[in-house]
Amino acid sequence: MSAPPLRAHGLGRSYDGYIALGSFTLEVPAGELVALIGPNGAGKTTFLNLAAGLLEPTAGRIEIAGEVPGSIEARRALSYLPDTPVFYEDLSVAEHLEYVAALHGAEDPAARIDELIGRLGLDGWEDALGAELSKGMKQKASIALALVRPFEVLLADEPLDGLDPPSRQVLFDLLAETQTAGAAIVVSTHRPDVIAAADRCVAIRDGRLAYDGKPDPAVLEEVFDPSELEGA
């Protein structure tokens, strides 16, 4: 059996004595969707940033497809959908998609770009710059950028924020297809519908693992006050 594409053991990150994430251990096998939950400041985004290679751990280790986060090999294996979309100022939506697809060697990129534009409701916005997009359209374009390329691990930080209900359903469908294709997925979320759709729920509280198991509402209510998650 091949090793899980995302593995963290004893992972930690501290700032001047403050522990943002402490001794965190997690493995996500291929084809599994994990909902990462916890109140604000729990350590969810810290973990995602460590996995994406945007932060260096101060303890433990993490691997993406067996490689160190931030390395060329890990970047090739991982796609990251951040909570705040980021775009090049001088590239249109279509140029962003073409660039990312080409950079990562996507097969038949034109067809995949057309599919994502159509399904995410980006028709007519292909020539728009990032600054010209509304919050919802920026989120749709960011989702398209994350999914236009091949990857083994997908990290998504609150990906449904800013989306209307039809677009949320499209994203659920795309995530299900991504699972079927064999990717490991970690979605940071406070939404009950995402948690219910996940194979597994991982809860962080005060930088520590608080729960790891099936997304059972009764169990989760023992770990968290529902109001903590609703606004997280």
Q: How does pLDDT run across 183-217, given as a tens digit for each residue?
A: 999 999 988 889 989 999 999 998 999 999 998 77
pTM value is: 0.92
Radius of gyration of the chain (CA): 17
Give the integer Cα–Cα distance in Å for 117 and 123.
6
Give the integer Cα–Cα distance in Å for 128 and 228.
38
Instruction: State the amino acid at position 156 in one-letter form.
Output: A
Spell out the domains of the chain, with CATH numbers in brackets.
6-230 (3.40.50.300)
Give the tens place of pLDDT for each residue, 23-46: 999 999 999 999 999 888 889 999
Instruction: State the amino acid at position 139 in one-letter form.
Output: Q
Instruction: State the amino acid at position 206 in one-letter form.
Output: D
